[in-house]
Amino acid sequence: MPTRVLVLNGPNLARLGSREPEVYGSTSYETLAERCRAIGTELGFDVDVRQTDDEAELVGWLHEATDASLPVVLNPAAFTHYSYALRDACAQLTAPLVEVHISNPAAREEFRHTSVVAGVATGTIAGFGLASYELALRALSAR
């Protein structure tokens, strides 16, 4: 039976393809989700891709991952920089957590330079566009 992996996405990521394509590219969220599932299948994972603009829902999904010991690929989006609730939920995870970002937050506005999630993540992959997700799934597979 394949290992179940949650790929969780925070606010505004459902708008991929139309939101700031110069930063986030022109690929749609649906295409990203399909790519994650296909790569997951290749790696022996059952990938469940989700997106929400709601902090409480994202925290609930992290609790679900904790309770089931599921590995997580997380793009916290704007929550990266200030959501201590999200950070605390991530700290409870018992399986690996890979934080991902499409752009490189360190090369952007100063307020994006701090991640409250990074300190409790197994690792962070940023700046490789949508390939950041593939790299994260491959990192989980290598563990």
Which residues line the annotated binding site for substrate?
75, 81, 88, 102-103, 112
Q: Describe the strand order of the beta sheet including 45-51 as a list of residue ranges.
A: 45-51, 3-9, 72-75, 97-101, 123-126
| Nearest partner of 75 among 53, 93, 45, judged by Cα | 53
In 3D, which of 92, 88, 98 has the Cα closest to residue 121? 98
Q: Annotated binding site: which residue ranges? A: 75, 81, 88, 102-103, 112
Question: What single DSSP character describes residue 143?
Answer: -
Instruction: Decide if 29 is catalytic.
Output: no
Left, alpha or beta for 139 (phi > 0: left; psi -120 to 50: alpha)? Answer: alpha
16: Cα within 13 Å, side-chain hemisphere: 23
113 is known as an active-site residue: no
Give the residues across from 99 on adjacent strands. Answer: 74, 124
63, 82, 84, 101: the active-site residue: 101
Active site residues: 24, 101
